[in-house]
Structure 1
């Protein structure tokens, strides 16, 4: 299992890194588009496991939304999509997560259908926008989510005693989440000290608003990356599956790998707009 996981990760890196560093920005946009459409296909499978065609149609709908907004060439519509996604994560997602497993996927299926068509395209637009601000801007924003996940895993393994969301994800602990947050503080501090201020979201916020607002921003991004992970875990449990698919051997599905990015990247894009 570990060998398969490592091989899959190496193959992904072999595609991702040259695309990111050696090719024009449009190619990384295409890479992200393929990943998000795969995640949309998996989202559709979770909602309609009895119909393979419905999952493909769902991915096509996501693609159509992205192409429509691109074709309109109106940044305000793209911003509106990002804003809808951010409002969902701030004002609706917490109440859904608070219900744990006391939900019915059958009754809420129309809701999940609609919200996926907002969240997934918004994630793609936010990644593309962050890339337009600079390669380092994009990488440091994505890395924050990875740092939060790594910190939560290892601190949780070592010290985790109090469950964060026992019904949704029994493996996650409050200690792990706090450990990930502390590691993210350290990571953001390193970015501010060693990278040009304007090249990262953390440096831009520190120089524009000060250190305290910057650390508050890191707290928000870290918290919502955890929300994204829990939201996808909740959806999988409601659907009665362990992984969103087996597209990535050893890792599960694409949605399993990008779930924390789905809330964090639109929020990061909106926050970047302030500076």
Structure 2
């Protein structure tokens, strides 16, 4: 299992680095859209769409991304999209988590399909937009999510006492959430320090937040983003538990499926672009 995880991770990193090394933006956009389309296929399978319809749902994510790209939304998507994404994850995520896994299958299947595909499409569009702002900006947003996850895991194992959502993900604790936020704060401080000493292609997300809103605003934004990463993780866990599935698929040997790897990114990336629109961070 460990060998599979390492090999899969190395292949994905090589593909992403190769796409990022090209001057044109389309290889990275195409590669990430392909991954999100695979997530659309997984979402259909987890929500009773059937084999053929699940494939069509993945194709719909890819087609939606292509249309948005041709419409020029990579350079500037309507701010209302990011407001919709925040509403979708803020209000919708809270309702879903409060209701629990048993309530999820009671929603009409069409509604579940649309919600998932919209989340994947918005996340891809936000990722493409972040890439357009700058590689340093985009990588700092991605690393924020990864740090929140890693710090929450180790903090939860070391200090976890109070369960966060036992009916959805029994291993998660409130101590893990706080550890994740602390890890993100440490990462932000380091990255801001690094921005002042290394000639990147532009400021990171952390430096832009700090320059625009100061320490208090930076910490508040980090708390929001780290919290949303937990919501994304829990919502995907809820959907899998409702479907009786351990992983979203077996597309990524040793890692499960695409949704298992991008779940926390789905709400965070649009929120990052909402902060860009709100604070003129770009």
1:78, 1:125 within 8 Å by CA — same for their partners in 2? no
Query: Which residue does 1:32 correspond to in 2?
Result: 32
2:96, 2:104 within 8 Å by CA — same for their partners in 1? no
CA 76–132 in structure 1, closer or farther in 2 if over 3 Å, else same: closer
Gaps of 5+ in 1: none
2:191, 2:206 within 8 Å by CA — same for their partners in 1? yes
Q: C-alpha deviations, 1:110-139, integer Å up to 9, x for none?
A: 221111221111001100111111110000
Query: Which residue does 2:105 correspond to in 1?
Result: 105
Q: C-alpha deviations, 1:186-206, integer Å up to 9, x for none?
A: 111111222149511211121
- Separation in 2, partners of 1:166, 1:77: 38
Mapped pair 1:239 → 2:243 = yes
- Separation in 2, partners of 1:207, 1:242: 42
1:84, 1:118 within 8 Å by CA — same for their partners in 2? no
Query: Which residue does 1:164 correspond to in 2?
Result: 164
Query: Which residue does 1:188 correspond to in 2?
Result: 188
Q: Is the partner of 1:171 in helix, strand or coil?
A: strand
Question: What is the aligned counterpart of 1:251 among 248, 255, 279?
Answer: 255
> What are the residue-to-residue correspondences of 1:203-242 with 2, within 5 Å?
203-242=207-246
Could you tell me how far 1:21 is from its partner in structure 2? 2.9
> What are the residue-to-residue correspondences of 1:2-151 with 2, within 5 Å?
2-48=2-48, 51-73=50-72, 78-151=78-151
Could you tell me how far 1:22 is from its partner in structure 2? 4.2
Gaps of 5+ in 2: none
Query: Which residue does 1:272 correspond to in 2?
Result: 276
1:163, 1:172 within 8 Å by CA — same for their partners in 2? yes
Q: Structure 2 length as normaliser, TM-score? A: 0.91
Could you tell me how far 1:19 is from its partner in structure 2? 1.8
- Separation in 1, partners of 2:7, 2:77: 40
Which stretches of structure 1, 4 residues or longer, exceed 4 Å deviation after superposition? 74-78
2:247, 2:257 within 8 Å by CA — same for their partners in 1? yes
Q: C-alpha deviations, 1:77-130, integer Å up to 9, x for none?
A: 654333211211122211111112230415342221111221111001100111
Number of matched residues?
A: 274
28-37 or 1-10, which moves further after superposition? Answer: 1-10
- Separation in 2, partners of 1:28, 1:261: 17
Q: Is the partner of 2:164 in helix, strand or coil?
A: strand
Could you tell me how far 1:272 is from its partner in structure 2? 1.7
Measured on the aligned residues, the alpha-carbon RMSD in Å equals 1.8
